[in-house]
Structures are given as structure tokens and as C-alpha cells.
Structure 1
Amino acid sequence: MVEKEVAQETYEGERKLTEDGRKIIEEGETTGVNANFAAILAKHKPNPWGKGHLKLYLLCAVCFMNSTMSGFDSSLMGSINVLENYTSYYNLPTTGTASTGIVFAIFQVGQMSAALFVWVADWLGRKWFIFIGTIGVIIGTIITATATTLPTFIGGRFLLSFFATCACSASPLYLVEVAPAQYRGTLAGLYNTFYYFGSILATSSVYGAHKHLSHHGNLDWRIPLWLQMVCPALVSLVILFFPESPRWLVGKDRHEEAREFLVKYHANGDPNNPLVDLQMGEMMESLNNEPITNWRNFFDLRVLWSTRARRYRTMLNMTFAWFGQFSGNNVVSYYLPYLLANVGIKDADTKLLLNIMYALVGYIFSSAGARMHDVIGRRKMLLASTAGLIIALSITAGTAAGYVNTGSKTSSSVSIAFIFIFGAVFAFAFTSMQPIYPAEVMSNDMRAKGMGTYKITGGAAGFINTFAAPIALSHIGYWFYVFFVFWDMFEFAFMYFFFVETKGLTLEEMDEIFESKNPRKASTDVKKVKFRTVMDADGKFEEMVV
């Protein structure tokens, strides 16, 4: 694609000519932040249902199963925590206290610890790091499912979290780097929707086991613990047969393999599609200037803040990590049974059924949201969703207060309804975007380390939130919701002024956005792009942006 100034046009009979005498065969107009990419897509957009794209979707679908690990754990622990067999076996209290919090919060400790090793994905490759993570999860599951003492149980949860974080850090890296730019939001966004799939599996298994096995010793909570290893075990069997990320391949000077990937999976086997040359050129230029991590700089974190643009990228990565864990969502997902008890629902079976319904609502809305990333855009969705969270939490706090003060069943019902609405709104934008935004705002040489900072920051937010939540709910009840109402207002203002739009840009094209004086403004500056196909006197065709 050649970029040129607009040329004066003349007419020769019925033919339209440029000023240098070449015949204009076709003209068109489209919109986009990057002129070349927008023009190529307008004329050479690959069939999204072509053979190569379908194979790519299958690769992505296997990676989605890694996301079930986090959802399975959060809902599993929230569900078995209401089972008398579990709490009595480990002598845990039936109300939220510090001892309950550490059983939950150890997951965040493991997450933060594993984040220090995300650089291994640059060393060994994305798929090998996923494999190591899935094998470790199987080991951690065996320890937790057979633990006879609480310290052993907590230790097993630490290992499970550590290795789950390895797999769940490398999977978004892989998905963001292999997905075509025009579908990156959808493909990578669908990854986190399987958080709810894992949640549905966990809550359903606990409900079924409790319903039929509660009088058979500890099977009602031990069997769901064993099921935590199913999805990672399936991934471990096939992941090493997958192709590597083309960006990792370019970073390792394996250019031909990277080009073969782009031809096969992005261009549906067409080696002449200009998207292949465009992406290869951008990746080679970016990674030649800023190589990915090697053995000399595994622990050199200056890459995250050495320039103004890099500091801006890291700031977005870390703030989104904190917002994703500290918007009121962890309180609802981990402690939904306690929240239901706060508004008058005491029966264990009813709590478990509502947990299943909450997960199902989240899965539906997060799946819809994943598609909307490439239609509406990341920034607009986050702003709209945050405004919705503020409204939902405000009403939840008010109705919960009404129930506590008056015992009103109407207030109880409305409070539960808005807990579900909160979950739907959060899932629509935040859940489906968590694997995308923190990875795509980082440059190629920052991405693996950036996912480490994302996991550390998110783990810290989750630890504080999860450890403090049972204590806060026990002491201040609905006022805990009020705190998050004001916090979410702050999030909305911060996103409005600083968050950039990444919709429709290749990962390399965002370099120009972050180098600009005002990245947020540059990312939303959509331009009209004119393109044309011209024919030389010797019959050769050339495409250009004008």
C-alpha cells in the first residue's frame, strides 16, 4: 500500500485520470485511525468463516478452557463455604471472619507470586508456559482434594493459584497476539467469558453433590474439588501441538514461521493478501527496534517506565487491573451466599441455586459483551458499564438498608435483583475485557512483563478486597456497598480522561497512539480514508491511499 498526496484529476472521454496520466479503476472511502490498515480491510478483508479463520477459532476455543480455572475457584469456594460438612471438617466459622478470608485470599497470594515469573512466556514461548501452568493446576487440585488439615488445604490452594496464574497469564498473551486485529476484541474477549462457564460447573457440581451426597461423609465438597482439574487436563493434552504466536516467532527471528501463520490463519491461505505484508512489516519493525525479553534482561523492569509512552501504557495496565478487581465484583462473586443471608435468604439449596443463576447471567452478558468490543469499542463500553455499576450498587445499598431496618421482603427481593443486574453490567464490559485491554495497551517487548504487573496489581486488589470483605460485611453490612459506589465514581472519571481506544488497530499501530501528546485524544480521532486502484500505461495495477 503506497501513501500519496491527492493528485489532480483530468478526464479523457469517459475515463478518469490522475495528473500523471494513470487511469483510475476504482475509488472508495472508509473510516479508521490508521489509513493503510483501514484501506486494506475495505478491499481485502478475509472471509471470517474461511478455512484458516475456522482453524484459528478452534485454537482459541481450547485456550478458553483455561479461563474456567478462576471462575471455578471463586464460585466453588463461595458455594462449599455454606456447606456444613466442609466448615465443620476444617472447624471454620459459619460467618465471615479472618480465618474464612485467608482461605479465599491465599488464591491472590499465589497469583501475585506467579506474576513474578510471567517473563518465562518470553523465554520458552506462550504455549509452553500454558502447558506448565495446566500441569501445576492438576498437582494443586490433587493436594486440595485430599487435604486432611486446613494448612494443607491452604497450601494446595496456593499451588493451584500459582500455576493457574501461569496458564491464565500466557493464554491472553497468546490470544491477543494470534487474533486478527478486526476480531481481536471478540476472540480474546470470549476467553474471560469462560470464567462464568467454570463458575457454572462449580456451583452446579456443589449443588448436585450437596443434594445427593450430603449424608455420605465429605463427598459433597470433595468431589467438586476434584472436578477443578478437568479443563486444565484437557488443555495440557493438546497445547504443545499448537502453532506459536507470530509475534513471539518474529522476536526469535523465525520470520518464515510467522509469515506462514499469518497466511494460514489470517489470510485463509492467500499469500498475496496485503494484510500479510502489512502485519509482517509492522511486527519486524517493532521487534527489531524493541526486542522481546531474553536471558540478559529477564528481571530488568525499566522497559515498563523508561519513556513517557511506556509509563502511560503501564499506568493503563495497572489501573485496569485494580479496577477489574475492586469495583464491587469480588464482594459479590466470592460472598454471594453471605450477601443473600444479609437480605434474608438462609436456605443452603436456595443460595446455591442463586449462585448458579448469577453465573449463568454473567456468562450470557459477558459473551454478548465480547462481540461488542469490536463494534462499540473498549472505551465506550467501559464508561457505560461503570456508570451502570454505580446505579446498581446505589440501589442495592438502599434496598439492603431498607431490609435491615424494616425487614421488608420487597426490599430484600429488589436488593437481590440489583445484585444480579450489577453482575450482568460488570460482565458485559469488564469481565470480557480483562484479558484484552491490559495486553493490547503494552508494546511487544513489554507485553509479558506487563501481564506480570497486571496479575500482581490485580492480585493485590483482590487480596485486600477478599480478605477485608467478610470482616466488612459482618461489621458494616450495606455500607460496604456505599463505599464502592463512590469508588466507582472515581473509576468513571479516571477512565474518561485517560483510557485510550484500541478498537480496530493492530498491536504495532498503537505505538503511534502512545507516542502522541494526548494518547486518549489520538486514539479517538477517527479519520475518513480515501483509497483508489490505478492502472499504469503498461497495464500494471497499484493501490494507494489518497
Structure 2
Amino acid sequence: MGGGPVAVNREAGFVHLIDPNRTWYNNRRLIALNAWIVLLLITSSTNGYDGSMMNGLQSLPQWAGYFGHPTGGKLGLLNAIQNIGGLAGYPFSPYMADGLGRRTTIFFGAAIMCIAVAIQTASQSVGMFIGARFLIGFGLTFAAGAAPMLVTEVSYPTYRAPLTSMYNSLWYSGAIIAAWSTYGTFKLNGTWAWRLPSVLQAIPSILQVFLIFLVPESPRWLVSKGRDQQALKTLAYYHADGNEQDPLVVYEYEEIKAAIDFDRTVAANVGWKSLFTTAGNRKRMRIIIAIAFFSQWSGNGLVSYYLNKVFDGIGITNPTTQLLINGILQIWNLAWAIGASFMVDRLGRRFLFLTSCAGMIVFFSLQTAMAATFAKTGNTGAAHSVIAFIFLFYASYDLAFTPLIVSYTVEILPFALRAKGFTVFNFAISLSLIFNQYVNPIALDAITWKYYLVYVCWVAFEFVFLYFFIIETKNRSLEETAALFDGEEASETIARAAGHELHGDIKEDVDEKASHGSTYTPPESRA
């Protein structure tokens, strides 16, 4: 169990405490906070760059020729090795994030990626290239494991869901840069046609190495380490212009402290075993593991890593055309994903997930039909229709499976289990990617468009699963999601642990203090 003091049968407690005049565009401290959050969000750009770069490199004759025109298993290994490197980092990343802090973990991962990109750029053999990509995956595990948690734990409440949803959406910003970089270097003679795109991959990591310690540390992590005053000052500085008596700050601090104290002293909810020992946590892990696999097994893996093979199957073999379509597709994806990110609190997680799945079923089925038509008739109109349906399929995919898989995962996990639960999510992502990257090229070579039918059936199963298991969490604080998974009894216990009566919770307590102008005193300082 885990969470914060949630009153029975009422709306999210923090909403009425937010100053409507304090917005991201007219408050200097919120502008600064969001600027630092952008530095965290670009971690996802590194990952997106890598996937799109590998897609583009496969269309570059200079790269293919230099490494002996890899196919089949060797091509699968070149793509999958990054995720194998990620698997090697998973046993360590949650302990570093919880032990040394979110910022230190991001710095460590970014530093490793800088070194790895240098090796990748200087590669003289396919073995050296594979080794560098293993290190990229290893470093990315640490940075990508801590960055979204820090985003969600430090964001201003009203912007938490959109900003955290933008994390995975910005995967496409890296993909766009990579797609157009490989398109731009296509006509370069020699190895710099692929070495130059490799160099650019290091830019987000370099920025993080130099700037990460200017980003505020997670108030939740600070409280977990007994640094309560620093946590309170961080919340006050960025969420209330430095006012530690601001009702919102008081509410946030009380809720964070009560939830962490409950997890640590009441529930002992801190180990790996705890992920599966309670009914609430089993609900969380069932959803988290499912959406991790769904995000990679919805047919998107075919286009993300093997777009050139998909195009070859419909007669579009010109490398320039392939690279151009790939570049346009990434811009299309980014637009849809960011648009969906800003709608997560308005439309809700459940609506977006179900709409996304329904759209994917329709458009992937039509893509399959057109690919089959081209295979049988050679009709160019069918080939062009495949491209159109790929774009529409991705518009549907981007409604939920780009913005929500990370933000939904970190928001439904209580603080004590957030790093470990998010590691399980990333581990499931890596397993699904490794399978995709090995199996997809082999299956496409063997049965071509018929392989698409497997994904049509699978996405239909995804819709049924999500319909029955996805729980709506919109317009709630991180701590308030406890009532949705652990039941009201857990929330009441946490409320009592915070020193509040069941029917006189933090909401009313803060209101009373604010109305009387009383000075707030942190719990550990009270007599």
C-alpha cells in the first residue's frame, strides 16, 4: 500500500488551494522550474534519437557497406544490444535513485552516455559499434529511470500530468533530429555520413552533465532522507514564491510526509517483494507490466526499427524516399503526442487509452489489407494507402501509448516503490523490445505482410484488457491515487498518521490555518 491522506468521497484536496493567478507564463519561479524540467525531459530525446538513427542508418549505403551489410540476426543484434545494455543497468538504477538521489543518478547515466557516443562515433568495426551501443543502453537506464520520476515529483500540481506525459512524447523530438540528420548526411561521401549523426546523439547528455545539479531535487526524496526543511523550502520556493505558509505548500508537505512515514513505519512497503504482496500493488503491477508490453507490441515496432523493410515490401526502395517519409512521420508523431499530453487531465487516461486502441485496430487492419493487395496485384495505389494508414495508425498510437505509459506508471506508484516499480516497467519494455528487434526482421523476411495479422489480433486483446483494468486517475495528486488502488481504509490510516481526524483532514486543516493567518510548523518541530 501507499499514498497520501485522501478524504472519503471528495474531490482532489489540493485543487482549491491553487492560486489561479499563479501560472507557468506569468510567474518567474514557475518559468524557471519548468525550464529545469525541460532539461529532464530531453532524456527521452536521447532514446528517441537512438531508435530513429538506427532506422536511418539502415537506409544509408555508407553505413551498411562499412559494416558488411548486416542482415537477420546480426541486424537484430545491432538494434537489440542497446536494450541488452539497459537490462544490465536495471539491478542498480533504482538503488542509486533512492539512495543517492534523482539528480546524481541522471548525472551518472548522462556521463556514461557521453563516453559511449564517443566510442560509437569512432567505431572501426561492427564489434566496437555494438559495444558502444551496449554502453549507451546501460547509461540510459540510469538517466531515463530517474528523470521522469524527478519530473513528476517536483512539478507544480496543475502541470504535473502534462509535463510527465510530455516526457515520453519528446521521444519523437530526438527521432526527428535523427531522421533529418541521416537524411541530410545521405549524400556525404565516406563514413561521416553515419558518424556525424552519431556525434549529435550526445548533445542532451552533455547538457545534463553540466546543468543537472542546478535542477531542484525531489522534495519526496528529501523527506525520505530526513531533510524535511530542505524539502519544504524547495516546495515553497518553486510552488509559492518562497512562502512556506502557503496553503498549497502546507498541503503538499503534509501529504508527502504522511505518505512516506506510512510506507516506512506502518506498512514497511519498501522492498521488491512489496510490489506483489498486497492487492493494491498487484493491481498496479498488472497494469504497469501490461502497458509496457503493449507499448512495443502494437505493431509500432515494425515502423520504429524496420521502416525500410516495410517500405521494401510495398515497392518503395529508394533510400532518399524512405528517409524523407521517416522524417515527416516523426514530425507527425510529435505533434499528436504533445497534443495528447495536454489533454490527459481534460479527457482522462482511460478515455485516451481506449480511443488509442480502437484507432490502432482500425488503421492497422486497413494497413494490412492494403499491403496484401499490393503483394498480390502490385497496385501502386495500395502501396500509397499503406503509407497513409501508417500515419493514421501512429496518430492513434500517440493518443495514449506515447504520452501515458511513463506518466501513468509513475503516478500510480507510491514513493517508496516508485523507483523499483518504474524499473520493472523499463525491464518489461526492454524485454519486449529485444523480442521485437530479433523476431520482427526474421518474420518480415519469412512471411512479409502476413506477419501484420498477428498484431491485428494482439491489439484487439489490448483493448479488452485496458477496458477492464485501466483505472482513471485524472486531477489527483500523486499521493491521492492511493485510494484508487489500496482502498479508503489505507487512506484513512495515512490521514491518522499525519495527525488529522478522519473527517477533519488536511484540506480543512490547511483552510483553517490560512483563514486565521497562523504560522505553519512542520510536524517534527511540534511539541
Q: Helix, strand or coil: the match of 1:243? A: coil
Q: Which amino acid aligns with 1:102?
A: L
Distance 2:438 2:98 in 1: 33
**In 1, Cα distance between equivalents of 2:144 and 2:78:** 21
What is the match of residue 91 of structure 2?
116
Is the 8 Å Cα contact of residues 145 and 422 (structure 2) preserved in structure 1? yes
Counterpart of 2:290 (choices 319, 329, 342) is 319
1:448 aligns with: 419
Partner of 1:187: 163
Change (3 A) 1:306 1:78: same
1:428-458 C-alpha deviation (Å, 9 max, x unpaired): 3211123211111111100001111011111
Using the TM superposition, give the Cα deviation of residue 3 of structure 1 relative to its aligned residue in structure 2, in angstroms: 11
How far apart, in 2, do the equivalents of 1:3 and 1:106 lie? 44
Within a 5 Å distance, the mapping from 1:18-97 to structure 2 comes to 34-41=11-18, 46-49=22-25, 50-93=27-70, 96-97=71-72
Q: State yes or no: 1:146 paired with 2:149.
A: no
Deviation string 1:257-299 (CA, Å, 9 cap, x unpaired) is: 111121122224343331111111111111112139xxx999x
Aligned to 1:466: 437
Change (3 A) 1:411 1:64: same
Q: For residue 307 of structure 1, report the CA deviation from its aligned partner.
A: 1.3
Residue 399 of structure 1, aligned match among 370, 373, 395: 370
Residue deviations 1:172-205 (CA, integer Å, cap 9, x gap): 1101111233221111111222211111111111
* Matched ranges for 1:17-416 at <5 A: 34-41=11-18, 46-49=22-25, 50-93=27-70, 96-119=71-94, 120-211=96-187, 213=188, 215=189, 217-291=190-264, 300-416=271-387
Q: In 1, Cα distance between the equivalents of 2:220 and 2:489?
A: 27
Q: Equivalent residue of 2:209, what SS? A: helix
Asked if 1 retains the 8 angstrom alpha-carbon contact of 2:294 and 2:462, the reply is: yes
| Greater C-alpha radius of gyration | 1
* Aligned partners of 1:184 and 1:374 also within 8 Å: no
Deviation for aligned residue 1:309: 1.1
Partner Cα separation in structure 2 for residue 163 and residue 3 of structure 1 = 38
Q: Quick one: distance in 2 between partners of 1:470 and 1:133? A: 30
Distance 1:316 1:252 in 2: 29
TM-score, scaled to structure 1 = 0.85
Please state how far the C-alpha of 1:4 moved relative to its aligned partner: 11
Q: Which residue of 2 aligns with 1:500?
A: 471
Is residue 108–residue 463 contact of structure 1 (8 Å, CA) maintained in 2?
yes
How far apart are the structure 1 equivalents of 2:12 and 2:141? 38
Q: Matched residues in 2 for 1:155 and 1:46: separation?
A: 48
Alignment-mate amino acid for residue 126 of structure 2: L
> Shift of the alpha carbon at 1:47?
3.2
Residue type of the alignment partner of 1:430: F
* 1:540 to partner: Cα distance: 5.5
How far is 1:516 from its partner? 2.4
Contact 1:381 1:429 survives alignment (8 Å): yes
Is this contact kept in 2: 1:209–1:220, CA < 8 A? yes
Is the partner of 2:141 in helix, strand or coil? helix
Provide the residue aligned with 2:496 in structure 1.
Answer: none
Q: Which residue number corresponds to residue 419 of structure 1?
A: 390
Cα 1:33–1:327 change in 2 (3 A) is: farther
Instruction: Give me the whole-angstrom Cα distance separating, in 2, the residues matched to 1:159 and 1:541.
Output: 55
What is the TM-score with the length of structure 2 in the denominator? 0.88
**Alpha-carbon distance in 1 for matches of 2:231, 2:217:** 8
What code does the residue aligned with 2:340 have? G
Structure 2 CA distance for partners of 1:218 and 1:33, relative to 1, 3 Å: farther
Which of these residues, 415, 422, 428, is aligned with residue 457 of structure 1? 428
Residue 39 of structure 1 and its aligned partner are, at CA, apart by 3.8
Instruction: Tell me the residue number matched to 1:18.
Output: none
How far 1:210 sits from its partner (Å)?
1.1
Aligned-partner Cα distance in 1 for 2:64–2:169: 30
Superimposed CA distance per residue, residues 113-139 of structure 1 (whole angstroms, 9 cap, x where no aligned partner)? 222222210011000000001100011
Superposed CA offset, 1:355-399 (max 9, x none): 100111011111101101121111111111111111110000000
Q: Percent identity?
A: 32
Q: Distance in 1 between matches of 2:13 and 2:45?
A: 38
Deviates more, 1:123-132 or 1:270-279: 270-279
State the alpha-carbon separation in 2 of the partners of residues 89 and 317 from structure 1: 40
> Cα distance 1:39–1:345, how it changes in 2: closer, same or farther (>3 A)?
same
Assess if the C-alpha contact under 8 Å between 1:46 and 1:268 holds in 2.
Answer: no
Q: CA RMSD in A?
A: 2.7
Q: What CA distance in whole angstroms lies between the structure 2 residues aligned with 1:436 and 1:4?
A: 24
| Number of residue equivalences | 491
Provide the C-alpha distance between the structure 2 equivalents of 1:491 and 1:203, rounded to a whole number of angstroms. 30
**373-382 vs 266-275, greater mean Cα deviation:** 266-275
Q: Is the Cα–Cα contact under 8 Å of residues 12 and 480 in structure 2 kept in the other structure?
A: no
d(CA) in 2 for partners of 1:492 and 1:147?
43
Structure with more helix by fraction: 2
User: Structure 1 or 2: larger strand share?
Assistant: 1
